[in-house]
Structure formats: structure tokens, C-alpha cells
């Protein structure tokens, strides 16, 4: 009997479905916001799709997270009649869904014209660039997320206020918390193992009901899929246990934001080892690593929309909340945007600390890696290393990050480096989708505005 993670081909995919006697399987794909969409399909439809691809309405790439249709993109829309987008099922993505008994899940990727404007297509483009340069990219992502003793019905009835946190107070890395709630922690660990996005670590973080996970390192494209699956099924697991998980960058002004830090390293494809490690250099930073960090520093302000993709993202990017506001770098410095972590030949890496939990891992990885590769190609040199508290030091204007989603979208769509790395079609489409998001926000009146202006103005 085949196991899901042993599936490597179309023939294997068909075989495991037959062995399990399944009449239906679940297929999905991640949209540009990192939301997994999909459906159950019959065995016959699934086999036909494996042999010749399948289609989904292009609305998936032409609407926001509330299913509102973009009015400012050229790829799809009323002007084109919302035709189908073509997708390919990825046989080797086969996984069990522990919550659904014997059910199997297969991930997909957009192909053809749709690939040019999709997050998965963009990351594949960057991975191919790295391979052509002689590198394999290895990545790991850490997520912080809040848990609540709430349901989708209760949070709406409360208008998302006065919610009951899973735990109380700030008990970072508490053994008390992980032991008292060990049954649920174990459910998370078990799910991660069974669905093949294993965790290197799981612990309580700072804040009421906050957990942090570190996904075990893997090649970058596999890490993007694993991170996106973890976010999706962590929410499923929570709701199955009468709880809710949120990956918003900042759900309350009273608590810290939620990060999605990215660790990256390069290894030579010829098997000769780390491209980042040189024992003869300061902090063991090879010339290649130095150029990589320089590229990340130089283009981080232009690529911020890919890493901080929501209105809410910018509520987190304020001084003093463990989130950087400028494209600084330092060695083992958690106040900088880029944290060089000296280590062994196997562990030498750079942590990309601007990432937030709400980002699409396909996009944030592509941005972090693409900027670094561009730095290597251009042989860029990083600015002065930051020591001490980066928040207390004045930085050049060129290093300042955008302060809003609108500004970030403008920086992205005017970036020549972004167009070269990610393609004109993607940059145009994604920047327009972020402009749409900001326009939607401006249509609404917030509680803050009412409290600020209702009576006194």
C-alpha cells in the first residue's frame, strides 16, 4: 500500500486513490493572498485532470479575501468574461487529511498565462534563477499566531471585541502552559507530522493565547507549500476543537504583532557545501552571503508589499514591537530587519525579520530570495552593520520601509528590480490588487475615527 508522501507520479496518484477505494478526493490551490481554495472531485474527474490538467474560474486570481471582484486588473475581469484559469495537479503533494478519515488532499499550481500572475509561479521563477546561478535555496519559517476560545459565530456576534483568549498573560516559552494544555499541543504536533509539515519547535509566545511554531528546514519551494498548509490546517484544527486561530499581523492595539520570520541559506548544487559559510571571514560570512544580505537590504523597501500584503500588516511595523521599520542588518540582532546568524557550515544563515504571519509564504519567500540573488548578481555591498538598538539610530531615507500598503504598492510597481525578477505581468497584477485593498479600506469608517471625531469635531 502506497503512503501519501511516497506518491511521486501521476501513476502513483491514481494507484493510491484506487488502493483506498476513494470515490472522491480533495484538490486545492493557493491564491495570491495565501488562501487555499478547492473542492472535492470525483475519482474519474481527478484521473482525467491528472492526465490533462483542469480549470478553475479566473475569479480566484481576480478577487480579494471577501470575494469582491477587482476592478483594476487586466488578467481577468468582466472585460474578459472571467474565463477559466488552467491548473496542474501536483502528484507529489499528496497528503492525508487527518480530520477526514481516509481522505486525500492534492495541491495544484497555475499554468500558462495564470502562472505569470500567481504566487506559486513567481516563486518557481525565483527558484529557477537560483538554480541557474548554481544554488539550491533552503528555507525555514517561524509563525506566531493567537488562539481564542471562540467560534466563527461567536466572534461575529461580539464584533471581534472582548474575545476569550486561549490562555492569559505573557508566559513566554512556559512549560506550565505546554503541559496544562499538552493535549492540544500534541494535536498540533501530530497533525504536522501526519501532513508532512513537521515542526522543529512549538511553544507559548509573548501575549495571551499566543503560540509560536518553527517549521523544519526544507528547500524553498517545499517550505512555501508546507507553511501555507500549516496556516490553513492550523485554523481547521482550532475550529475542530471549538477554538479559532488568527494569523493577522496585529489583531489588537494592546498586544504585540505576529511575525512570520524567514530563514534562508544557499548551498551549491554541485554538492560542495554552503555558499554562505567562509571560516576565514568576519562572522563566517562568505562574499556570496554578504552580497545576498546587501541585495535584501537594498530591495526590501521596494518589495515590502510582497511581505506585508495587508492593511493590517502596517499596524505591526512600528518601533518597539520586535518588528523592523527600516532595512537594517546586524549580527544576532533582533532589532534589525536582517539578522545574520553565524554558525557552522550547515547552520550559517540570514533571518528576514520583517515578515508577518499574514503574508503568503510563496510571496514572502520569493521576495526575500529574489532580492538576495539580485544582490549576488550585482555584487552589491551592504551598508554599515547596525549594533545595539536599531530603533534608536537614524537611518538613511533609502532604508526606510513603506508606511502603508498604498505606498508599498507604488514602490513595487515602480521597481525595475521587481519587474526583472518577478515579471511585468505579476508586478502589475499584484500591485493593482494591493491598491484595490487600500481603496476598499478607505470606504469604511473605523471605530478609532468614530471615537476620535464623532463628538468633538
Q: Where are the domains of the chain?
A: 4-113, 125-422
Q: State pTM to two decimals.
A: 0.96
Give helix 361-378 / helix 220-240 axis angle, nearest 10°: 160
Q: Which ranges in 58-160 belong to alpha helices (H)?
A: 119-132, 152-157
pLDDT for residue 391: 80
CA–CA gap between residue 351 and residue 209 (Å, rounded): 25
Nearby residues of 206 by Cβ (< 8 Å), 6 or more positions away: 170, 172, 256
Instruction: Find, among 109, 102, 108, the residue nearest to 2 by Cα.
Output: 102
DSSP secondary structure string, 43-58? HHHHHHHHHH-EEEEG
CA–CA gap between residue 275 and residue 277 (Å, rounded): 6
pLDDT for residue 446: 92
Any idea of the CA torsion for 415, 421, 425, 427, to the nearest 10 degrees? -40
Residue with cell 488578467: 75
Same topology between domain 4-113 and domain 125-422: no
List the grid coordinates of 109: 499550481
DSSP run (H or E) holding 298: helix 287-307
Cα 11–13–14 angle (5° rounding)?
Answer: 65
30 near 54, Cβ under 8 Å? no
Adjacent-strand bridge partners of 137: 266
List the grid coordinates of 361: 509564504
CA–CA gap between residue 44 and residue 24 (Å, rounded): 9
pLDDT for residue 321: 62
Any idea of the CA torsion for 196, 199, 200, 201, to the nearest 10 degrees? -170
**Per-residue pLDDT tens digits of the chain, which is 457 residues long:** 999 999 999 999 999 999 999 999 999 999 999 999 999 999 999 999 999 999 999 999 999 999 999 999 999 999 999 999 999 999 999 999 999 999 999 999 999 999 999 999 999 999 999 999 999 999 999 999 999 999 999 999 999 999 999 999 988 999 999 999 999 999 999 999 999 999 999 999 999 999 999 999 999 999 999 999 999 999 999 999 999 999 999 999 888 889 999 999 999 999 999 999 999 999 999 999 999 999 999 999 999 999 999 999 999 887 666 677 899 999 999 989 999 999 999 999 999 998 889 999 999 999 999 999 999 999 999 999 999 988 877 788 888 999 999 999 999 999 999 999 999 999 999 999 999 999 999 999 999 999 999 999 9
Using DSSP, state whether 412 is helix, strand or coil: helix
List the grid coordinates of 285: 560570512
CA–CA gap between residue 357 and residue 385 (Å, rounded): 26
340 near 263, Cβ under 8 Å? no
Across 103-183, where does the E strand assignment appear?
104-110, 135-148
CA–CA gap between residue 116 and residue 32 (Å, rounded): 12
The CATH number of 4-113, from 3.40.50.450, 3.40.605.10, 3.40.718.10, 3.10.20.70, is 3.10.20.70
CATH-assigned architecture of domain 125-422: 2-Layer Sandwich (3.30)
pLDDT for residue 116: 98
CA–CA gap between residue 352 and residue 337 (Å, rounded): 6
CA–CA gap between residue 119 and residue 114 (Å, rounded): 10
Amino acid at each position: 500500500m502506497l503512503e501519501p508522501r511516497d506518491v511521486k507520479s501521476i501513476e502513483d496518484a491514481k494507484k493510491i486513490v484506487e488502493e483506498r477505494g476513494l470515490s472522491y478526493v480533495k484538490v486545492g490551490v493557493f491564491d495570491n493572498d495565501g488562501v487555499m481554495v478547492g473542492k472535492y472531485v470525483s475519482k474519474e474527474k481527478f484521473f482525467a485532470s491528472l492526465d490533462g490538467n483542469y480549470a478553475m474560474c479566473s475569479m480566484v486570481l481576480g478577487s480579494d479575501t471577501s470575494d469582491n471582484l477587482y476592478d483594476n486588473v487586466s488578467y481577468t475581469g468582466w472585460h474578459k468574461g472571467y474565463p477559466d484559469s488552467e491548473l496542474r495537479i501536483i502528484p507529489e503533494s499528496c497528503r492525508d487529511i487527518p480530520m477526514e478519515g481516509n481522505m486525500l488532499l492534492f495541491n495544484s499550481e497555475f499554468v500558462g498565462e495564470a502562472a505569470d500572475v500567481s504566487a506559486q509561479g513567481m516563486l518557481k521563477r525565483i527558484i529557477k534563477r537560483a538554480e541557474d546561478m548554481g544554488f539550491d535555496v533552503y528555507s525555514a519559517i517561524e509563525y506566531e499566531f493567537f488562539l481564542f476560545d471562540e467560534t466563527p459565530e461567536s466572534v461575529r456576534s461580539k464584533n471581534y471585541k472582548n474575545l476569550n483568549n486561549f490562555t492569559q498573560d505573557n508566559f513566554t516559552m512556559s512549560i506550565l502552559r505546554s503541559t496544562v494544555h499538552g493535549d492540544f499541543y500534541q494535536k498540533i504536533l501530530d497533525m504536522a507530522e501526519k501532513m508532512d509539515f513537521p515542526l522543529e519547535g512549538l511553544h507559548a509566545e509573548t501575549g495571551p493565547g499566543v503560540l509560536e511554531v518553527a517549521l523544519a528546514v526544507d528547500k524553498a519551494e517545499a517550505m512555501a507549500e508546507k507553511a501555507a498548509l500549516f496556516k490553513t490546517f492550523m485554523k481547521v484544527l482550532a475550529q475542530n476543537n471549538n477554538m479559532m486561530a488568527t494569523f493577522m499581523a496585529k489583531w489588537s492595539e494592546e498586544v504585540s504583532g505576529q511575525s512570520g520570520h524567514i530563514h534562508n541559506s544557499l548551498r551549491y548544487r554541485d554538492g560542495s557545501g554552503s555558499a554562505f559559510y567562509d571560516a576565514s571571514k568576519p562572522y563566517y560570512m562568505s562574499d556570496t552571503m554578504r552580497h545576498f544580505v546587501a541585495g535584501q537590504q537594498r530591495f526590501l523597501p521596494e518589495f515590502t508589499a510582497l511581505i506585508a500584503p495587508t492593511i493590517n500588516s502596517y499596524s505591526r511595523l512600528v518601533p518597539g514591537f520586535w518588528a523592523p521599520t527600516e532595512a537594517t542588518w546586524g549580527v544576532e540582532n533582533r532589532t534589525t530587519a536582517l539578522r545574520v546568524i553565524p554558525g557552522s557550515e550547515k547552520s550559517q544563515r540570514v533571518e528576514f525579520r520583517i515578515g508577518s504571519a499574514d503574508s503568503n509564504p510563496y510571496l514572502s519567500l520569493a521576495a526575500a530570495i529574489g532580492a538576495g540573488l539580485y544582490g549576488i548578481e550585482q555584487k552589491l555591498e551592504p551598508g554599515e552593520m547596525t549594533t545595539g538598538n536599531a530603533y534608536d539610530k537614524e537611518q538613511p531615507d533609502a532604508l526606510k520601509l513603506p508606511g502603508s500598503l498604498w505606498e508599498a504598492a507604488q514602490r513595487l510597481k515602480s521597481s525595475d528590480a521587481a519587474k526583472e525578477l518577478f515579471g511585468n505581468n505579476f508586478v502589475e497584477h499584484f500591485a493593482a490588487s494591493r491598491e484595490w485593498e487600500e481603496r476598499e479600506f478607505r470606504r469604511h469608517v473605523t471605530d478609532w475615527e468614530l471615537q476620535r471625531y464623532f463628538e468633538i469635531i
